[in-house]
Amino acid sequence: MNNPVTTSLVGLIGFPVKHTLSPVIHNSAIKFLGLDAVYKSFEVRPRDVKDFLAEQPAGFLGTNVTIPHKQTVIESLDQLSPVAAATGAVNTVVLRQDEDEGPYLYGDNTDVAGFLAPLLALDSDHVRRLEGGRIVILGSGGAARAVAFAVREFSPQRITIVARNPMKGNQLVEELEPVDLASEREELPQSSVTTFDHKDLDRTISEADLIVNATPIGLTPNVHITPLPDATFLSSQIVYDLVYRPRHTRLLKDAARDGALVIDGLEMLLEQAAASFVQWFGEEMPMDVVREALDAELNR
């Protein structure tokens, strides 16, 4: 007789998934809480995502989703959270149970809450200035999509997407424009697109209250490059880099040098993971334990 499978399985699907910190985060939490579970990375080719989710490995509770599947995975899911539907991107799949219909696949986007958490935790004029303020997002990929949606929380006056491919930037703006979950908001922000080599970029940056890097520029091993090599920052600005390897990117070092308030990508990484974890296990992630495990991993 076969032993029944008791170990629960969660993980990450992407292609490739080599340098992810997610197993360190989730497995340290699983170990601390004494759960009979494991978090694994699965390198799944785009053409195999549907089959992976239909066949589901033994003990499957759900999975994180990363590049390049965040948008295409949606066609393999049964239901989306309002945030996933609004952003058109999923980073968390949960195998849920319906009393009548049985198991079904639910998609959520915890990048949105993960991005907002470090900003909402700040009690600062910098954050208060975002209401009616100007926000610049560098990049127009999956993370930029989550950020462009998330920053509506602050009812900014203007969101500018800086894209190397303006067509992709325009597509993002067009898709996000009609979406407003917070329907009581009186006005949607004005959104526009510019490019990294536009002559007015310096002015756009100097007028911004929040600048978010949602490109991989500055990521290890390219630690000496920055998406904004010519920028001077202001002490009234927040500069937020989603890159977390290294934590102190060249962009953040430049911004800190000029006195801006800087936020690195590690806290977002933790918060989006915590928001996935609780959906799979029904338990809160022990943040201090996970922070310690991450620090150890990053200092190795």
Closest CA to 112 of 126, 131, 92: 92
Q: Does 244 bind ligand NAP (CB under 6 A)?
A: yes
**Smallest gap from residue 252 Cβ to ligand NAP (A):** 13
With CB under 6 A as the contact rule, the residue among 193, 211, 242, 274 that binds ligand NAP is 242
Q: Does 64 bind ligand NAP (CB under 6 A)?
A: no
Which one, 84 or 268, has the nearer CB to ligand NAP? Answer: 268
Question: Toward ligand NAP, which CB reaches closer, 8 or 90?
Answer: 90
Candidates 9-17, 25-33, 179-187, 265-273; binding stretch for ligand NAP (CB under 6 A):
265-273
- Residue 70 falls in the annotated catalytic set: yes
Binding mask 113-132 for ligand NAP (x = CB under 6 A): -x------------------
Full DSSP string of 227-248:
S-TT----TT-EEEE---SSSS
DSSP bridge pairs for 288:
none
Catalytic residue among 50, 70, 168, 253: 70
What would the x/- binding string for ligand NAP be over residues 145 to 184, using CB under 6 A?
A: ------------------xxx--x----------------
**Whole-angstrom distance, CA of residue 206 vs CA of residue 229:** 13
Alpha-carbon distance of 59 to 61, in angstroms, equals 6
Closest among 265, 276, 159, 252 to 207, alpha carbons compared: 159
Q: Is 108 in the site for ligand NAP (CB under 6 A)?
A: no
User: Quick check: 218 and 247 in contact, CB under 8 A?
Assistant: no
Angstrom distance (rounded) from CA 88 to CA 75 = 11
Contacts of 3 (CB under 8 A, 6+ apart): none
> Does residue number 205 form part of the binding site for ligand NAP (CB under 6 A)?
no
Structure tokens at 1: 């007789």
- Torsion angle of the four alpha carbons 100, 9, 281, 283, in this order, in degrees rounded to the nearest 10: 180
> Which residues contact ligand NAP by CB under 6 A?
67, 111, 114, 139-144, 163-165, 168, 196, 214-217, 219, 242-244, 265, 268-269, 272
The catalytic residues are 70
